[in-house]
Chain A
Amino acid sequence: MSFDIDWTKIESDAGLNESIKCHLNSYLQSIDLPDYVSNLRILDFSIGKVPPNIILREISDPLDDFYQALNEDIDIDNAKPVERNPNDVQFLTEIEYKGDLLITIAADLVLHYPTKSFMTLPVKLTISNVGIHSLCLIAYLSKQIFVSFLCDVSDSMLDKNESILDTSGSLLAPKRSLERILILRTMKIETEIGEQCQGEGSVLRSVGKLEQFLLENFKEVLRKELSWPSWINLDLSNNDDSNEDFAQRDPTSEDSSI
């Protein structure tokens, strides 16, 4: 690993777990649910005790795409286009995660057998054993951080004899098939439902469908939201600090960092 990560600071942070839970919940509100499930919500989120392993593979200037994206967002009227600054920087990293992250989800399972909406069952699902081993771009420019997953480290695209960050190469091609991108290597979903229903085949079939639905949905989110040519954009420019750094400055850290 390249980064020394002090995970004890994160695992003990109730506020962090709570804010991730809120983010995930607001995402769940936005998706269309199939007719056999309603009231999907995160009950608990725990980031776990095991940190990811992060290896720096390359440090370079950020890709043009990030500048283009920022300039497309700029209001033409008070436009001052974002230009390359020598302080801008981009890391190509290898992120390996096989930690003990745990998400508990509650849902109401709607049974349409023998009649439509015959019964509603509360269920509890736990997501665990999340495994990731991917190449990820992290760019800092114009007080913004961009994070984008490129591909799994075992992706056959990496076998081609071309530079990973070659914008004319296949890895960064703008229209590469999203289907090919695998971010989640493993993920386990377990379901708990009331004991009295264990013997019912049709209940279990609906639970299986729900598990499958969640799995596909998580993969889809990761592909659509986090994978090149998409990215997460964190805007740090509202911080009251004017330093051109690429680590977010926390005002409370003034003393503790020394």
Chain B
Amino acid sequence: SAENVEAEQTRQIDAILEKTYYDVNTHPSESLDWFNVLIAQTIQQFREEAWQKDNIVHSLNNFVEKKLHELPSYIDGAKITELDIGDDFPIFSNCRVQYVPNSNRKKLEAKIDIDLNDRLAIGVETKLLLNYPKPATAALPINITVAIVRFQACLTVSLTKAEEFVAPSSPTQENNGSGYFLVFSFAPEYRMDFETESLIGARSKLENIPKIGSLIEYQIKKWFVERCVEPRFQFVRLPSMWPRSKRTWEGKPEAEGSKTS
């Protein structure tokens, strides 16, 4: 019966906690310093690749150019003028495992604080078109640089099977319950600080209008909240970790060059 299944789930969770020496009520929170180092390495590699491709702004512009036809008709082109992928790293800390609230001790989740102090910026040059009474009757040039300079949040991470959740946007989305999923979400009390610069107009320009900043911040936060702030979760299927020969590598032999000379 359903009651028995629930009792079994609770028993399994309790056994896991006992055998991993983790008491959710008394275990102190952990620093996650090791995780920060690995994440920083990953990000560092990403940044190096980005800069190695020399002109990342250039390639982004090529990408935008291909996508131009998808822009709404009141936007006339778009040129990336600045891109800052930052030089700092996120710091995860204060990790603790707890029962998922209201799950009747059937599920576990990890809570992690995240803090990012950096400058992640993108600058765009575009034109707003007035399509009345004729297409492109008037155009308003716009230069905007928007930067995220601070992000602070509490991240919830758990592992689960798919049946616990529904996809709000596309209910037909394939989520056959096999395998595990990594589920993460941010608590609604997050902090996201922006620095927005704007220059609007052709010959006479308006500079740094607060309304323009709030329009953009609203759009970015809306995008973020609709994807990964509770009660919305991001759902990532975990790959199989079973050791297989096609994934087997070994290190290069040391000092091979000196042997042959």
A254–B204 Cα distance when bound, in Å, is 29
A58–B204 Cα distance when bound, in Å, is 12
B73 touches which one: A2, A60, A61, A257 (CB < 8 A)? Answer: A257
A254–B134 Cα distance when bound, in Å, is 12
Q: Are A247 and B134 in contact (CB under 8 A)?
A: no
Q: Are A1 and B131 in contact (CB under 8 A)?
A: no
B135 touches which one: A16, A57, A59, A257 (CB < 8 A)? Answer: A257
Contacts of B75 in A (CB 8 A): 257
Shortest distance between the CB of B126 and any CB in chain A (Å): 12
Q: Are B133 and A10 in contact (CB under 8 A)?
A: yes
The interface centre, meaning the residue of B132, B137, B212 with most chain A CB atoms within 10 A of its CB, is B137
Known: A2-B204, A56-B201. A250 touches B135 (CB 8 A): yes
Interface range for A:
20 to 34
Shortest distance between the CB of A208 and any CB in chain B (Å): 36
Q: Are A257 and B211 in contact (CB under 8 A)?
A: no
Contacts of B128 in A (CB 8 A): 247
Shortest distance between the CB of B226 and any CB in chain A (Å): 14
A86 touches which one: B131, B133, B215 (CB < 8 A)? Answer: B215
Contacts of B69 in A (CB 8 A): 258
Q: Are B206 and A56 in contact (CB under 8 A)?
A: yes
Q: Are A243 and B72 in contact (CB under 8 A)?
A: yes
Interface residues in B197-225 (C-beta closer than 8 Å to A): 200-206, 209, 211-212, 214-215, 218
A61 touches which one: B71, B203, B211 (CB < 8 A)? Answer: B211
A254–B202 Cα distance when bound, in Å, is 24
Q: Are A247 and B130 in contact (CB under 8 A)?
A: yes
Q: Are A257 and B76 in contact (CB under 8 A)?
A: yes
Shortest distance between the CB of B2 and any CB in chain A (Å): 41
Indicate whether B165 reaches chain A with its CB closer than 8 angstroms: no
Interface of B is mostly: mixed
Shortest distance between the CB of A48 and any CB in chain B (Å): 15
Shortest distance between the CB of A93 and any CB in chain B (Å): 11
Q: Are B132 and A2 in contact (CB under 8 A)?
A: no
Q: Are A10 and B137 in contact (CB under 8 A)?
A: yes
Contacts of A253 in B (CB 8 A): 73, 129, 131, 135-136
Interface residues in B76-93 (C-beta closer than 8 Å to A): 76-77
Q: Are A250 and B200 in contact (CB under 8 A)?
A: no
Q: Are A254 and B73 in contact (CB under 8 A)?
A: yes
Interface membership of chain A positions 1-19, coded 1 if the CB is closer than 8 angstroms to chain B and 0 otherwise: 1111110011001001000
A216–B136 Cα distance when bound, in Å, is 35
Indicate whether A49 reaches chain B with its CB closer than 8 angstroms: no
Interface residues in B129-158 (C-beta closer than 8 Å to A): 129-141
Interface residues in A221-256 (C-beta closer than 8 Å to B): 243, 245-250, 252-254, 256
Q: Are B132 and A59 in contact (CB under 8 A)?
A: no
A206–B75 Cα distance when bound, in Å, is 53
A258–B69 Cα distance when bound, in Å, is 7
B211 touches which one: A54, A59, A258 (CB < 8 A)? Answer: A59
Chain A residue with the shortest CB-CB distance to B75: A257
Indicate whether A55 reaches chain B with its CB closer than 8 angstroms: yes
Q: Are A245 and B214 in contact (CB under 8 A)?
A: no
Contacts of A10 in B (CB 8 A): 133-134, 137
Q: Are B204 and A249 in contact (CB under 8 A)?
A: no
Known: A56-B140, A61-B211, A257-B76. 4 other contacts (CB 8 A): A56-B200, A252-B135, A258-B68, A258-B77
- Residues of A near any B CB (own CB < 8 A): 1-6, 9-10, 13, 16, 54-61, 86-87, 89, 243, 245-250, 252-254, 256-258
- Residues of B near any A CB (own CB < 8 A): 68-69, 71-77, 127-141, 200-206, 209, 211-212, 214-215, 218
Q: Please, could you name 13 A-B residue pairs with CB atoms under 8 Å apart, sorted by A?
A: A2-B200, A3-B140, A5-B139, A10-B133, A54-B138, A87-B215, A89-B215, A247-B128, A249-B131, A250-B73, A253-B73, A256-B135, A257-B76
